Every structure is written in structure tokens, then in C-alpha cells.
Amino acid sequence: MKITKDLVRKTIKKIAPLVEKESQLKTNLKRYNVILTTPEEIASARNISISLAENFTGSYKVDFEKSLIFNRRFIFPKNFNCITKTFKMMISHEVMHNAQFEIFPYLITLTSNLKKALKTNPNDENLKKEKKSLDYLIEGDARLVENNLSKRYFSIQGDYFAKLKSIFGEEKDSVYTAGERILRDKFKGNRKDINELYTAPIEELVKIFSC
């Protein structure tokens, strides 16, 4: 399947209502850019090898162009080789990120502040735990939503992430899988309870995700 900007836009349009239904969050996807990149560009932006970049999946970016106006970007590799169902999963994950940041924009500020603080104090255990807990919530919930949607609407035989895991390594993937597992175990997929985590104090998230 060849990924084109048009295909990305059409798929986002189809998937957004499903993400809204599943997450009970509004996606508000009105203005966004679709960018197709080469593996070389991904490799240099992420500081990874070109062979790893060739397998890079979706990437969603939101920047502050002007204060309070988001510049949203859906970034996909030009030559990524995947089946339609896998592509729908990737889009579900990235659209869920849009919903998270649309409704809870301070998550962006908090993530960036924690990153900055960790650069200055790389050994601060508290900061590490706070950053990890936030990643668990953001990535774990995006993974939870994409997996639930996949089961219901575009189920894939076998483990979609088995290949990615072998490429990215277990550690890189753990924030996704562990985050999803904790959300499933502790909240039984209850959307109301999970969505309340987005406004919970960071100390609360540390308690929930530190296990």
C-alpha cells in the first residue's frame, strides 16, 4: 500500500469519529498538515539509523506557532510498507494524541517542562518518575484506544507490534505496552476513570504508574 497525503487525510476523516466514540474525547481535527518524510529525514531528526527510520511508523506533532494556536502535523514515512489495517491502527494512535492535546493542552507544556528539567538534572529520580508516568498515560492510552478499535473494526491476525518490537527493542516499546496494561488492569477500560487521569495531579499519576 502506497502512503499518500490524500490517503492519510481520508483515513483520518474516517477514523476520527471512531476515536471520539472510543475515547469519549473530541478530536477537533480542523486544521492540520500531513507531511510525508524520507527515511533520511526521519533518521536525522530522531538521531536513529536509516534502516530503523525505514520502519518508523506514524508521528504526531503539535507545536505552538503563535500562542494558543496549535500547529498540528501528522508525519508518516513515504515508503512505509504496511497493510491498510495496520495503517488504520497507526492513524488511530496519532488521532488519539490529537484528542489528548486538544482537550488537555497543558500536557504539552508539562511534557516539555519535564524534559527541560531532566536535561538540567538527569539523575533526579522524582523527575524521571513524573516524566515516565506522563508517557505511560499518553502513550498507553493511545495504544489502548488503537487496540480496542482494531479489535472491533480492523482486526489484524497475529501481533502487529511483534515486528516493531524486534526493530525498536522491548525497552522503547514498554512505555506503550506497560501503560496500556496498567490502564486495563487498574481501570478495566472504564473511560470516565481513565479520562479523569488527564486532570489528576502528577503525583497521582506517579502512584498509579509506578509499578
Residues that bind Zn ion (CB under 5 A): 139, 142
- Rounded CA gap, 198 and 46, in Å? 27
- Joined together, the cell numbers standing for residue 154 give 480492523
Rank residues 22 and 139 by Cβ distance to Zn ion and give the closer one: 139
Query: Angle 8-13-14 (CA atoms, 0-180°, nearest 5)?
Result: 100
Beta carbon of residue 66, minimum distance to Zn ion (angstroms, whole number): 25
Beta carbon of residue 97, minimum distance to Zn ion (angstroms, whole number): 6
Rank residues 61 and 78 by Cβ distance to Zn ion and give the closer one: 61
DSSP-derived letter for residue 31 is S
Beta carbon of residue 164, minimum distance to Zn ion (angstroms, whole number): 12
Residues in the chain, overall count: 211
Beta carbon of residue 94, minimum distance to Zn ion (angstroms, whole number): 7
Beta carbon of residue 142, minimum distance to Zn ion (angstroms, whole number): 5
Rank residues 107 and 142 by Cβ distance to Zn ion and give the closer one: 142
DSSP structure string for 3-23: --HHHHHHHHHHHHHHHHHHH
Rank residues 29 and 157 by Cβ distance to Zn ion and give the closer one: 29
Rank residues 39 and 179 by Cβ distance to Zn ion and give the closer one: 179
Q: Which long-range contacts (C-beta less than 8 Å, at least 24 apart) are formed by 180-184?
A: 180/140, 180/141, 180/143, 180/144, 180/147, 181/140, 182/136, 182/140, 182/208, 182/209, 182/211, 183/137, 183/140, 183/141, 183/144, 184/144
Is 180 in a helix, a strand, or coil? helix
